[in-house]
C-alpha cells in the first residue's frame, strides 16, 4: 500500500481501455493518487506548461505530477518525441518518466533509455499481471525512491 502522501501522475495514453485499467488498479488499492490524463503529446505539454485550458494557479487542490507514465505510440507526435523534449528542458527534465508500452522491441527499449527514460515497463494485456506490474511500479517510486520535489510553481 502506498504511503499516506497524496501523489499525482500524468498519464499520456490514447487508449481508453488502458487508462481505465490503470484507474481500476488505483481504485482497487485505495491509493491516494490523482490521475491526470492526456491523450497526445500536445495536450501533455499544455498541461505541464499550464497553457490552453490548464491554469494551475486557479486550482487550489492541484498537485503537480510526481511521475509521468508515457505510452510510445500516440496519435500525431509519438511518445519518444515527448520524452526527448522533456529531458532537454531545464524545467521538466527532473520529472521521472516511465515508459508504459506494449512494445517489447529491444530497439524501442534501448532508444527510450538513451533519450532519458527512468524506467520501461511492458503493458500486459492480462489484468492481473498488469495490476501486479503497476503495484510494483508504484511501490518502488512512491515507497522506496526519493522523488524530486514536485512543484508546478517551478514549471510555470
Count CA within 13 A, CB hemisphere, residue 5: 16
The answer to whether position 14 is within a domain reads yes
pTM of the model: 0.89
* Total tally of structural domains belonging to the chain: 1
The answer to whether position 1 is within a domain reads no
Q: What angle do CA 122, 15, 114 make, to 5 degrees?
A: 40
Residue 14, pLDDT above cutoff 80: yes
- The grid coordinates of residue 148 equal 524530486
The answer to whether position 64 is within a domain reads yes
CATH value at residue 74: 3.40.50.2300
Tens digit of each residue's pLDDT (9 = 90 or more) over 52-100: 777 655 555 566 799 999 999 999 999 999 999 999 999 899 999 999 9
pLDDT given for residue 26 in this prediction: 95
Q: Which range marks the domain in which residue 32 is found?
A: 7-155
The answer to whether position 2 is within a domain reads no
- The grid coordinates of residue 93 equal 527534465
At 24, give phi and psi (nearest 5°): -60, -40
The answer to whether position 131 is within a domain reads yes
Amino acid at each position: 500500500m502506498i504511503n499516506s502522501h497524496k501523489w499525482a501522475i500524468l498519464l499520456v495514453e490514447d487508449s481508453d481501455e488502458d487508462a481505465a485499467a490503470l484507474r481500476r488498479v488505483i481504485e482497487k488499492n485505495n491509493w491516494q493518487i490523482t490521475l491526470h490524463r492526456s491523450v497526445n503529446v500536445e495536450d501533455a505539454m499544455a498541461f505541464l506548461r499550464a497553457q490552453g485550458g490548464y491554469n494551475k494557479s486557479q486550482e487550489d487542490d492541484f498537485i503537480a505530477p510526481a511521475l509521468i507514465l508515457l505510452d510510445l505510440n500516440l496519435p500525431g507526435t509519438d511518445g519518444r518525441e515527448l520524452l526527448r523534449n522533456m529531458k532537454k528542458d531545464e524545467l521538466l527534465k527532473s520529472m521521472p518518466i516511465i515508459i508504459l508500452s506494449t512494445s517489447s522491441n529491444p530497439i524501442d527499449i534501448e532508444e527510450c533509455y538513451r533519450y532519458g527514460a527512468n524506467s520501461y515497463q511492458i503493458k500486459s494485456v492480462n489484468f492481473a499481471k498488469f495490476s501486479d506490474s503497476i503495484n510494483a511500479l508504484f511501490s518502488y517510486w512512491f515507497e522506496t525512491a526519493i522523488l524530486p520535489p514536485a512543484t508546478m510553481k517551478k514549471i510555470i
